[in-house]
Every structure is written in C-alpha cells, then in structure tokens.
Amino acid sequence: MEEHVRAVFPDALRSDRFCDAIDAAARAAGFEPDATLLVTGSCRDELCFPFGDRLQETWGSAFHVGSLGGLLFLGRTGLAAAHAHAPLGHRRRRYLLIALTHVGIGADGTVGRVARSHQQAESSACGALVALQQEIVSGSELPDLDPDDLEQGLLRRRLAFLWSRGPGLSVLEVTMAARDAIRQDVLRLHPALDPDGRSDVLLTTGVLVHAGDGDWVGAHETTRIHPDGRSDDVVLGR
C-alpha cells in the first residue's frame, strides 16, 4: 500500500509517526500538555477517530471543530468557545490545532475507496466529498440549502467553485480543495481563538489517508502562529 499512498501523497507519514513528530514540534515550541488546548478537526467518519484518540492520549480531551469532510462550520462563535476553555499557562493560551480532511485509498490504488473492517466491499471515503464529486461530474445544478441536510449543503457552498470544473473533476481534486478550504478558514477565523493577542497556535492541516495497512497523513502543512501574529513554517521530520 505504501507505494499507492506515496504515488498520491509523496510527503505522507504514517499516522503514529506523524503524531510523534507533532508532539516533538509542539514541545520544542514550549507547548505542555497541561497548559495547551488540543483542537481537532476531522470528518464525522469513525475512521478518523483513532487518529484523534492518539493525539488525546498525549494532549488530553480535544475541542472538536470538524463537520462533514472535516470542514469548519462552527464559525466565530464556536471557536470563541474554545478560547473560553483554553488554559492560561505562563500568561499565554496555547492551542494545538490539527484540522484534516480525509480520503481512502483502495487496494488497487483507487483514490476515494476504503476497505472498512466490518464490510466486505470497499466503500467511499470521504463519503461526503465523493458524493459532492459525483454530483458535479453528473452535471447536477448547485441545489438550494436544505435545512434537513445542512452540513452537506454548506460543504457544497464552501466548495461551490468546483462546479465550474465539470465532468473531469477527480476525487483527489475535491479532497485537496477541502484541505485548502480548511486551512483558509482556520487562518481567517483564527482571531476568534485569540481576541486578546496572547495566544500561541501550532496549526497543522492536511489529509488523513486511510490505506489497507493503516492511516497516513499527507499534504500536511504545519505553522506556528505567535501572539504578535508572526507565523513560521514548521518542518516535521520523516
């Protein structure tokens, strides 16, 4: 499976290795588990939870910000709640914010398919993003927002620019668009986490990849955002 994963995500790290690298980067930046709020964003799919559990083993219970596809629909008010909960250690609030979309890679390398342990046939992952891709490829119009299908409706609206791509749109393109949207939305909404300019954020965005031999994290980007607004890129080791 590794070659299928690396063919799509050359920077991929196995999820345990990725979590070790995040732990090391956070500690090197002065983040301590008892003075840091873990903020996680992922899709609602149960496949995403072991990764979050691994982070919580080190950093404690997480404030969760993700919706279908891992996108952030909780807005300023939701993030302001995280601010109200964050410990104030050494006069700073520290957030370890890890927000990933996800995708499966099937046994034959197909992007968007995954073998779930309790099912015989492969199924879609991310189901919400694959449904969006199929809707666009089939030529459907962008529908009105349905109050009984809010998250998928908001997902369509956030990624509405994909409609212009038409029938050639791939699952990987939708996945990378979701990854980019999550990153843009976190950076735009970040002031809600830091209204008093005293917060340190270590932010990672990327794609949680479910492969037959376990989870990986690919297309990842880690950034330290300092209280004064400066930001540094953080390179995670392989």
For Zn ion, the closer of residues 67 and 204 by Cβ is 67
Q: Minimum Å distance from CB 42 to Zn ion? A: 8
Shortest spacing between CB 174 and Zn ion, in angstroms? 11
Whose Cβ is closer to Zn ion: residue 93's or residue 158's?
158
Peptide bond into 126 cis (omega under 30): yes
Q: What span, in angstroms and rounded, lies between the C-alpha atoms of 153 and 229? A: 33
| CB of residue 219 to Zn ion, shortest distance in Å | 16
What distance in Å separates the CA atoms of residue 40 and residue 37, rounded to the nearest whole number?
A: 10
DSSP line for 111-162: BTEE--TT-SS-EETTHHHHHHHHHHHTT---PPPPGGGHHHHHHHHHTGGG
Contact track, Zn ion, 42-61, x by CB under 5 A: -x-x----------------
The region of 16-24, 36-44, 90-98, 174-182 touching Zn ion under the rule CB under 5 A is 36-44
The yes or no reply on residue 65 touching Zn ion (CB under 5 A) is: no
Between 100 and 201, name the residue whose CB sits nearer to Zn ion. Answer: 100
- Binding segment toward Zn ion, per CB under 5 A, in 38-46, 55-63, 143-151, 173-181: 38-46
What distance in Å separates the CA atoms of residue 107 and residue 151, rounded to the nearest whole number?
30
- Minimum Å gap between C-beta 64 and Zn ion is 14
Nearest residue (CB) to Zn ion, 45 versus 200: 45
- Nearer of residues 43 and 193 to Zn ion, judged by Cβ: 43
Q: Is residue 141 exposed (0-12), middle (13-18) or buried (19+ Cβ within 10 Å)?
A: exposed
206: closest CA among 15, 47, 61, 29? 15
Residue 204 DSSP symbol = E
Per CB under 5 A, does 99 bind Zn ion?
Answer: no
Smallest gap from Cβ 8 to Zn ion, in A, equals 17
Q: Helices 127-137 and 171-189 meet at what angle, rounded to 10?
A: 120
Please, what is the minimum distance in Å from the beta carbon of residue 134 to Zn ion? Answer: 14
Name the residue nearer to Zn ion (CB basis): 126 or 136. Answer: 126
The whole-angstrom separation of Cα 186 and Cα 14 is 24
Q: Identify the burial level of 151 via C-beta atoms within 10 angstroms of its C-beta, where 0-12 means exposed, 13-18 middle and 19 or more buried.
A: middle
Site for Zn ion in 120-149 (CB under 5 A): 126
| 202 near Zn ion, rule: CB under 5 A | no
CB-nearer residue toward Zn ion: 202 or 206: 206
Binding site for Zn ion (CB under 5 A): 43, 45, 126
